[in-house]
Amino acid sequence: MNVLVLAEHDNTLLKAQTLNTITAAKQLGDVTVLVVGHGCQAAAQACAQVEGVSKVLLADAPVYEHTLAETWTPLLVKLAETHGVIMAPATTTGKNVLPRVAALLDVQQISDITKVIDADTFKRPIYAGNAIATVKSGDAVKVITVRTTAFEAAPALGGSAPIETVDAVDVPTISAFVSADLTQSARPELTAASVIISGGRGMASGENFHLLEAVADKLGAAVGASRAAVDSGFVPNDYQVGQTGKVVAPDLYIAVGISGAIQHLAGMKDSKIIVAINKDEEAPIFQVADYGLVADLFDVLPELSEKL
Amino acid sequence: MKVLVAVKRVVDYNVKIRVKTDGTGVETAGVKMSMNPFDEIAVEEAVRLKEAGGVEEIIVVSLGVAQAQETIRTALAMGGDKGIHVETDQVLEPLAVAKLLKAIVDKEQPDLIVLGKQAIDDDSNQTGQMLAALLGWPQGTFASKLELTDGKANVTREIDGGLETLSLNMPAVVTTDLRLNMPRYASLPNIMKAKKKVIEKLTPDELGVDISPRLTTLGVEQPATRQAGIIVADVTELIDKLKNEAKVI
Ligand SMILES: Cc1cc2nc3c(=O)[nH]c(=O)nc-3n(C[C@H](O)[C@H](O)[C@H](O)COP(=O)(O)OP(=O)(O)OC[C@H]3O[C@@H](n4cnc5c(N)ncnc54)[C@H](O)[C@@H]3O)c2cc1C
Ligand SMILES: Nc1ncnc2c1ncn2[C@@H]1O[C@H](COP(=O)(O)O)[C@@H](O)[C@H]1O
């Protein structure tokens, strides 16, 4: 089986989620990685070095500069003629592009797989991860997004795959990129971090997040948030962890002033160690925490950053 | 201008679901059902566009069992004008939903379609993108802002790195994220008025759409549950545990 993995990259570097997706892909067959973008030669070279990759396809063209589902889809649909599986990490890019491809292939996509059972059968979470379904696909081509926290990262070095260039395919002009407002941060990305400290409504304001950041600095941690903290404008949207935000599984997740709603737990309950800091001892977050501290976060955070 | 909104009836987001003991699915008998939260946001956005002028009609569509009509009524009470219910007892996968919606779109010819980004039961996050593909229309998924100007839909999207704004030719498909708006509660007079609004009834057969599922669910299980750990006394003990017991710092 030929498996095509759509790489997530910033033209130069591969995003870590691509490595997890490659691990899932390897369980299904021979892995080809597709790098789409403009000026993305370096990212293609990075892909070629990933252990277990057989081939890299590079679609480098000005029309692919922005991740527009409308422009990328015809290319993926064409490549499905020679690949039995089309796979992408379940990032906002993968979630945006792959269903469009699946529909044109007349395939029912399988979203967010956490386990490969055989070539047709997969596990995936439903109901915010409160149930796990085992589904078998009857479609000839499989279109799959991967929950990256469920698969180890493939080693970034050790491979030496050939790079082939592919031409742009039938690019429609029904949509255009206008602008981006990306969060600038020197911290690790949420989905790649081994330690995360997240704040909730209990933080009370955006300014108070500097208390969290002081602890994050000591731990080399990424900073996340609950929906309530994002909705209240304390931090940008891309901090949100949960059913409808990012799914993370770091070695250590510290939840501060977060009650532990099922939608939040859906995004972090597979973390190795969970710490909860909350002044309400009844807060549901304590039911999933390995270590709970019942206290006022405004006392705890300064003390924590001082003692670490 | 005509706007079409798709609303799904799902288990209410506050319900703690239970997996059936025979492993065939999730218990829905006697469980509170509501409109998918993202679809409430979709209805609200359509109603706000109408209130701002320029939209003449909001058509609300739901597909599924007979009770999906209640979900349509809720949307009509929020400000929808007309309902369409495609009734079936069969399980509908996103591809089948997208095909049914396309058949309705071909009849109704809306200029804009608004859906939720994700149904909180199947968590698929596919239908809007699939519908846009089948129609050959552009898509603005995970929208946190929508502006219509000169035949274009300007959509600000929530993406992993932050925000991104796209300009889409109309007609277009938009899917909603949580921060697009705060849905209103329907007022009592509007609930009464909604009872008189028309809900057209159709079947997948009448629309000529094959809805046979492509996936077979072999089983549904409960995820591994986490054991609650211990409560530590203070910051010093917490640091000690993380260093020496869990060894994560
Ligand atoms: C469709 C849908 C999708 C959703 N998706 C997500 C999602 O992806 N991610 C997500 O997080 N949520 C999501 N939610 C929202 C979720 O249901 C909760 O509303 C949200 O997680 C609550 O955030 P919170 O815990 O910060 O706030 P709250 O529930 O208000 O909890 C605040 C906590 O802070 C504690 N606290 C207050 N002050 C202090 C103090 N000084 N010291 C210590 N503790 C203090 C309180 O005791 C309380 O437990 C979603 C909801 C819906 C309907
Ligand atoms: N049975 C349905 N009836 C009406 N709309 C639906 C149905 N299923 C899905 N949708 C729409 O598609 C969106 C995404 O659903 P999904 O792709 O299943 O996550 C939902 O938020 C709804 O707007």
With CB atoms and an 8 Å threshold, state whether B242 touches A252: yes
Task: Tally A–B CB contacts below 8 A.
Answer: 253
Structural domain includes residue B244: no
Q: Identify all chain A residues contacting B15, using CB atoms and an 8 Å cutoff.
A: none
Ligand 2, closest atom to CA B118? 19
User: pLDDT tens, B148-163?
Assistant: 999 999 999 999 999 9
Q: What does pLDDT average to in each consecutive run of 10 residues of chain A (308 residues)? A: 96 95 98 98 98 98 96 98 98 98 98 98 97 98 98 97 96 95 91 96 98 97 98 97 96 98 97 98 98 98 97
Residue having the nearest C-alpha atom to atom 6 of ligand 2: B8
Q: Which of B136, B45, B139, B101 is nearest to A96 (CA)?
A: B139
Query: Could you tell me if A301 and A279 are in contact, meaning their C-beta atoms sit under 8 angstroms apart?
Result: no
A158 annotated as belonging to a binding site for a ligand: no
> How far is Cα A162 from Cα A56, in angstroms, rounded to an integer?
6
Task: Give the global pTM.
Answer: 0.97
User: pLDDT tens, B76-112?
Assistant: 999 999 999 999 999 999 999 999 999 999 999 999 9
Q: Which domains does chain A have, with CATH numbers?
A: 2-165 (3.40.50.620), 195-307 (3.40.50.1220)
SS3 B4: strand
Phi, psi (5° rounding) for residue B11?
Answer: -60, 135
- pLDDT score, position A2: 95
SS3 A306: helix
Query: Could you tell me if A136 and A171 are in contact, meaning their C-beta atoms sit under 8 angstroms apart?
Result: no
> How far is Cα A130 from Cα B222, in angstroms, rounded to an integer?
7
Would you call the peptide bond into B171 cis, given omega within 30 degrees of 0 as the criterion? yes
Which residues line ligand 2 at a C-beta cut-off of 6 Å? Answer: B 6-8, 36, 38-39, 42, 61-64, 92, 94, 97, 115-116, 118-119, 122, 124-128
Structural domain includes residue B157: yes
> How far is Cα A195 from Cα A220, in angstroms, rounded to an integer?
7
Query: Could you tell me if A236 and A185 are in contact, meaning their C-beta atoms sit under 8 angstroms apart?
Result: no
- pLDDT score, position B53: 94
Which residue is closest to B179 within chain A, CA to CA? A231
Residue having the nearest C-alpha atom to atom 48 of ligand 1: A259
Residue B125: domain span: 2-223
Structural domain includes residue B210: yes
Phi, psi (5° rounding) for residue B20?
Answer: -60, 145
Structural domain includes residue B231: no
With CB atoms and an 8 Å threshold, state whether A293 touches B120: no
Residue having the nearest C-alpha atom to atom 29 of ligand 1: A259
ipTM of the complex: 0.97
Nearest ligand to residue B118 Cα: 2
User: Which CATH number fits the domain that encloses residue B46?
Assistant: 3.40.50.620
Within 8 A by CB and 6+ apart from B81, the residues are: B57, B58, B59, B197
> How far is Cα B61 from Cα A301, in angstroms, rounded to an integer?
49
A233 annotated as belonging to a binding site for a ligand: no
Pairing outcome for strands B33-35 and B9-11:
antiparallel
- pLDDT score, position A185: 87
- pLDDT score, position A1: 87
With CB atoms and an 8 Å threshold, state whether B163 touches A287: no
- pLDDT score, position B28: 92
Query: Could you tell me if B5 and B76 are in contact, meaning their C-beta atoms sit under 8 angstroms apart?
Result: no
- pLDDT score, position A299: 98
Structural domain includes residue B219: yes
CA angle A299, B227, A197 (to 5 degrees): 35
* Residue-level pLDDT, tens digit, chain B, 249 residues: 999 999 999 999 999 999 999 999 999 999 999 999 999 999 999 999 999 998 999 999 999 999 999 999 999 999 999 999 999 999 999 999 999 999 999 999 999 999 999 999 999 999 999 999 999 999 999 999 999 999 999 999 999 999 999 999 999 999 999 999 999 999 999 999 999 999 999 999 999 999 999 999 999 999 998 889 999 999 999 999 999 999 999
Angstroms from B142 CA to nearest CA on chain A:
9
- What separation in Å is there between the alpha carbon of B8 and the centre of ligand 2? 5
